[in-house]
Structure 1
Amino acid sequence: MLIFNHSSFLTFTLTGIPGLESQHLWLSLPFSSMFLAILIGNGAILFLVATEPTLHSPMYLFLALLMVADLISALALVPKLLCLFWFNDKDITAKACFTQMFFIHGASVVRSALLVAMAFDRFMAVCEPLHYNTILSHSLVGRLGLVALAKGVILILPMPLLLQRLTFCHVVIPHTYCDHMAVVKMACGHAIPNRIYGLFVILLVVGLDLLLIGFSYGLILQAVVRFNSRDATCKALNTCSAHLFVILVTYVPALFSSLTHRIGHSIPPHAHVLLANLYLLLPSVLNPIIYGIKMKEIRHRVAKCLCRGPA
């Protein structure tokens, strides 16, 4: 059995989607379309928030940070995937593989932390509207953004560092990108510390973040129940609707993909890989659409930009 290590300039081989290699060219069409939608949609939201002073409220600043995390995740994933599909460029060095892993998983952790911050923002908007601007200052938004970034770096950086200590008996990764668990399975032996740490990160990120989001919405629900006005209740629910949709499209595919990776042994390999790609890309595609539809300020700014005539 051949044993590889990183001192010998190890190179991994990404196979793409197992069992669907002959369809890679056709599969590149939806993936390239999603990538284009991510660049245009998230880029447009960022441009609007950056250029329109009326969109410099905490809610839109958090949204802009979420768009940045979505763009980083897509830029780390899709270019290599399209090179694989279009040019059969399967090789990736260990250093590039671990770097891709860090940015993809790190962006996911940052995205989850930002959704917690946005849940707090919605709680303040519904339950403490008079103190909203006082408490949620721009400096606090900046600090929460830095906390989200630090969380992503601190939790994900140990993953590539732990992998560097391993030796590998296989270098052919049946995946489209360097997913942590997919790379761990290439190692000689069971790599138990890596598996335990990966599970720890999932439980801490998804479990704790969902708990905090649920706590925020529990308080919001209590406040809504006490409202005597139907209009006030509808306004409160509308205030939270976009964020709730984003939570659903972010966590449901991620949880399903994680569970199938660990206990869904009867699920075909191509389904595992497709789910892993969709849970990363689908939220980035849908987030600008959801916020564009649900938030009238963004709709008005988009309409203003489209209808603005030449100077």
Structure 2
Amino acid sequence: MPISIPNSNSSQFLLTGFPGLEVNYLWLAVPFSSIYAMVFLGNCMVLHVIRTEPSLHQPMFYFLAMLALTDLSMGLSTTHTVLGVLWGFLQEISLDSCIGQSYFIHGLSSIESSVLLAMAFDRCIAIRNPLRYSSILTNDKIMKIGIAILCRSFLLILPIIRLRFLNYCRPHILSHSFCLHQDLLRIACSDIRFNSIYALILVIINLLLDAVLILISYVMILHTVLAIASREERLKSLQTCVSHICAVLVFYIPIIGLTMVHRFGKHLSPLVHVLMGNIYILFPPLMNPIIYSIKTQQIRRRVQRLFSLKRA
């Protein structure tokens, strides 16, 4: 069935999905549905394990619960449009829905970056001040950090609603199966300098600054660890950071890849841009539960116990 392209006077926008693979959408729908199911089940499992295991009621695992909740929300924010396009029951999205989805995608990405930064500080305090760890990171302080992360992320992203007042005179065709801020700017005919400059400032304030602070935290951790005389103690201290380092790489590598493709990959197939966009959205929520289930001993044991009880 031919797809009708919304005209410039319409408030509907076409979700293109995966250019060139339209005949294979039903085949693509199966793996993508499986990935989303794994995202939901994996992050729900992490949240359930942390909630039901008293020994995991510690600062590090509270931050991990925040990360799992963010990843779960990221999956929920895109599943209806991505699977809707692939299964064939959704081709268009309204402007308000598109802006709302874009707001949550970028806001949740900012939250994930902030939580990873908080987890880096958590590891830094645990290794540099182990005796004062519990007194520094109290439940009250963790709650305040969580509220500060939410306010910082969603308030900074709030000016994105200015998209509602732009004029979209170009064909209403989005390059993904979900809405991104830069995608709407691409088809706008109004003055977009504020949005473009503000988006760059946000990248610097959120992602770049967070990455630099995470790096500084690990320089301090490494300095402390190298001062430990025992080789076994050094390895033991570093092993507590492995999961977090993996989560940082899983988050930042797709962002760097997507940025490089957008900036320098204009000659590449649109499909490459779409695939990188989906990796940026789905890879961290998919991988984080796997990383923490494998690398974190307390969670691994609790998950093994959970599945052994179900088999029994």
* Alpha-carbon spacing, 1:155–1:309, altered in 2? closer, same or farther (3 Å): closer
Q: CA deviation at 1:156?
A: 1.4
| 2:243–2:292 Cα contact (<8 Å) kept | yes
Q: CA deviation at 1:310?
A: 9.3
Q: CA deviation at 1:256?
A: 1.3
Gaps of 5+ in 2: 1-6
Q: CA deviation at 1:309?
A: 6.8
Counting only pairs closer than 5 Å after superposition, residues 105-254 of structure 1 correspond to structure 2 as 105-159=106-160, 161-169=161-169, 170-188=171-189, 191-254=192-255
- Structure 2: how far apart are the matches of 1:243 and 1:102? 26
Q: CA deviation at 1:277?
A: 1.0
Give the structure 1 partner of residue 39 of structure 2. Answer: 38
Give the structure 2 partner of residue 289 of structure 1. Answer: 290
- Structure 1: how far apart are the matches of 2:177 and 2:81? 8
Q: CA deviation at 1:10?
A: 1.0
Q: CA deviation at 1:124?
A: 1.0
- Structure 1: how far apart are the matches of 2:20 and 2:207? 30
- Structure 2: how far apart are the matches of 1:83 and 1:98? 18
- Structure 1: how far apart are the matches of 2:207 and 2:242? 20
| 1:242–1:290 Cα contact (<8 Å) kept | yes
Alignment RMSD, CA only? 1.6
- Structure 2: how far apart are the matches of 1:163 and 1:250? 26
Structure 2 counterpart of 1:218, one-letter code:
V
Give the structure 1 partner of residue 72 of structure 2. Answer: 71
Q: CA deviation at 1:18?
A: 2.0
Deviations 1:61-97 (A, max 9, x none): 0000101100111101122111111124111111111
Q: CA deviation at 1:107?
A: 0.7
- Aligned partner of residue 167 in structure 1, secondary structure: coil
- Aligned partner of residue 168 in structure 1, secondary structure: coil
- Structure 1: how far apart are the matches of 2:90 and 2:131? 56
Q: CA deviation at 1:304?
A: 1.9
Q: In the alignment, is residue 300 of structure 1 matched against residue 301 of structure 2?
A: yes
- Structure 2: how far apart are the matches of 1:145 and 1:215? 21
Q: CA deviation at 1:306?
A: 2.1
The 10-residue stretch of structure 1 (245-254 or 194-203) with the greater mean CA deviation from structure 2: 194-203
The 10-residue stretch of structure 1 (86-95 or 59-68) with the greater mean CA deviation from structure 2: 86-95
| 2:294–2:300 Cα contact (<8 Å) kept | yes
* Alpha-carbon spacing, 1:207–1:70, altered in 2? closer, same or farther (3 Å): same
Q: CA deviation at 1:190?
A: 5.7
- Structure 2: how far apart are the matches of 1:34 and 1:133? 37
The 10-residue stretch of structure 1 (193-202 or 111-120) with the greater mean CA deviation from structure 2: 193-202
- Structure 1: how far apart are the matches of 2:124 and 2:207? 20
| 1:12–1:91 Cα contact (<8 Å) kept | yes
Structure 1 counterpart of 2:143, one-letter code:
G
Structure 2 counterpart of 1:133, one-letter code:
S
TM-score by length of 1: 0.94
The 10-residue stretch of structure 1 (132-141 or 257-266) with the greater mean CA deviation from structure 2: 257-266
- Structure 1: how far apart are the matches of 2:129 and 2:79? 41
- Aligned partner of residue 86 in structure 2, secondary structure: helix
| 2:63–2:119 Cα contact (<8 Å) kept | yes
Give the structure 1 partner of residue 4 of structure 2. Answer: none
TM-score by length of 2: 0.94
Q: CA deviation at 1:183?
A: 1.1
Give the structure 2 partner of residue 57 of structure 1. Answer: 58
- Aligned partner of residue 165 in structure 2, secondary structure: coil
Consecutive aligned runs of 4 or more in structure 1 exceeding 6 Å deviation: none
